[in-house]
Structure 1
């Protein structure tokens, strides 16, 4: 019997990870939330009254996980306010294999579930603008199609209030100025390839042609590396900053290696720069692409958020091989 309960929960784990990651923007926090969900489920099994409430396992687990994530989000708001510089989510990075699945995601079922509904880093960044209650309502309803009655139970409110929270969140997500990401994989590869070529050539005009006029660049150094404390906006400023970044790497004798990867389900780049002192700097760049141009660049440099990265092959270099 216990083994059956474990199997039933494990069958839901991938979906719960997807829900928790989209709510929290941190894989480690999402894993903790899912583990806490399991502990509460295991505890309910030992209590006849609580066990009676588990009528539909998937719904019960989703509601429980959402409540846990809501508590984490409320406490995280204080941490985010004191975060050094700009904050970006911990990226989910998948190397591009020689024969990826049709959806381009990792073969592991749990990993695939986490990424199945990803719209890229851009959406996770916009979700940071929402209140915890709005974020939970939006993710559950608009991303995972959870009914408002169940969302209301998770939030401790009425279905109508939950509907209003999701509506306000939707307006914020679609507000002008938010980085737009609508490109399919083929367009993403074409645009990111043009970005790499322009960066390699050092031609400002060529790089600006790849960038949307209102493009925004955000860098998260976590206090470990210098990064702009505010977003850099506008094609000219972003292009000059990008060219300066790569030019600086060359001047300091850094050897840059890179490869294309999936970052939160969208095409991105993983970099390693070996300095003369032997230190290796890592960077993951995610892109938002719309109508043939880049609308957002999200550079994650914080080593605390890059601990799960696989090493880049010794044969990779700059420019990256597609």
Structure 2
């Protein structure tokens, strides 16, 4: 390939990188593994003559999907041996606010990614490509190694599974959700249990992921009173530690709290809010899954 052709291929991949990353992340639930998939896919793409590719977007989406599926299947054993609840890697987002795109915001929400984890690898890839990104069934079939009719059947089955399990999702008001989260943290830090309980859904759930590598609840905590008192207790302990600070951020299209000890990131707590009440806390304490939080990511469906 000529130098001009190589440069053109690299530029096209760079232009599509946010889309390709989003596809990989929604299939894998891991920013770290998605970066590896994109690196491997780029090396494969560099060997392709672009003149032989009719639609680079479709070609690269299929390439990334195949690589992501390989990674997902390879990691299945590790997830079976995981200690405690498994959660997706939190995704720190850029200032670009995806909340106006309700489909994108829902598809990267922690709640939806947890639901996608219940699907088989093929079901997950097909659902993501069809329902989130709108690819044709022939493109999807090529990506997952199935005929077009078979891809359509997998999509129907996956859609049914997701609809049966998917939590309610409403359009995101980023500013309002950040206000609610900040108000809750002030109340919890002050030990105001009455205020705290008034801001929690009665069946709120606290789910923590540590893989046994950090202090965290090994089972989900359910119910406003238990969750509220647990958070107040955690904040009381944290207030007594030196060099502890909390920063607000946006992870997975939701408010998130980043907990630092000095300059070390110790945890990310993503907050899910529906109708003004907090319904879920997703606490990431596994240091392996915090490594990718060093950089904000751009996500897109286009």
Query: How far apart in 2 are the matches of 1:88 and 1:141?
Result: 23
Query: How far apart in 2 are the matches of 1:140 and 1:177?
Result: 17
Query: How far apart in 2 are the matches of 1:194 and 1:216?
Result: 19
Query: How far apart in 1 are the matches of 2:112 and 2:169?
Result: 9
Between 1 and 2, higher relative CO (CA 8 Å, sep ≥ 6) is seen in 2
Q: Greater shift after overlay, 172-181 or 201-210? A: 172-181
2:256 is equivalent to residue 262 of structure 1: no
3-state DSSP class of the match of 1:88? coil
Q: Residue 272 of structure 2 aligns with which residue?
A: 288
2:290 is equivalent to residue 306 of structure 1: yes
Q: Residue 299 of structure 2 aligns with which residue?
A: none
Q: Residue 34 of structure 2 aligns with which residue?
A: 30
Query: How far apart in 2 are the matches of 1:119 and 1:182?
Result: 13
Change (3 A) 1:229 1:167: farther
Contact 2:98 2:253 in 1 (8 A): no
Aligned counterpart in structure 2 of residue 229 of structure 1, from 210, 218, 236: 218
Query: How far apart in 2 are the matches of 1:157 and 1:177?
Result: 26
Contact 1:33 1:68 in 2 (8 A): yes
Contact 2:32 2:292 in 1 (8 A): no
Per-residue CA shift, 1:154-191, capped at 9, x if unaligned? 12223333233333333333435847564321331232
3-state DSSP class of the match of 1:305? helix
3-state DSSP class of the match of 1:198? helix
Query: How far apart in 1 are the matches of 2:9 and 2:242?
Result: 52
Query: How far apart in 2 are the matches of 1:177 and 1:117?
Result: 10
TM-score (norm 1): 0.80
> 1:79, CA displacement in angstroms?
0.8
Query: How far apart in 1 are the matches of 2:57 and 2:106?
Result: 18
Q: Residue 93 of structure 1 aligns with which residue?
A: 92
Q: Residue 130 of structure 1 aligns with which residue?
A: 119
Unmatched tracts of structure 2, length 5 or more: 296-302
> 1:192, CA displacement in angstroms?
1.0
Contact 1:119 1:266 in 2 (8 A): no
Q: Residue 67 of structure 1 aligns with which residue?
A: 66
Per-residue CA shift, 1:229-265, capped at 9, x if unaligned? 2222222222122122222334x53453111101123
Higher helix share: 2
Q: Residue 7 of structure 1 aligns with which residue?
A: 11
Aligned residue pairs total 288
Change (3 A) 1:116 1:14: farther
Query: How far apart in 2 are the matches of 1:126 and 1:116?
Result: 15
Contact 1:194 1:210 in 2 (8 A): no
Trace 1:176-187 onto structure 2 (pairs within 5 A): 178=167, 180=169, 182-187=171-176
Contact 1:141 1:147 in 2 (8 A): yes
Change (3 A) 1:205 1:166: farther
Change (3 A) 1:57 1:281: closer
Q: Residue 175 of structure 1 aligns with which residue?
A: 164
Unmatched tracts of structure 1, length 5 or more: 106-114, 312-322
Change (3 A) 1:198 1:126: farther
2:235 is equivalent to residue 246 of structure 1: yes
TM-score (norm 2): 0.84
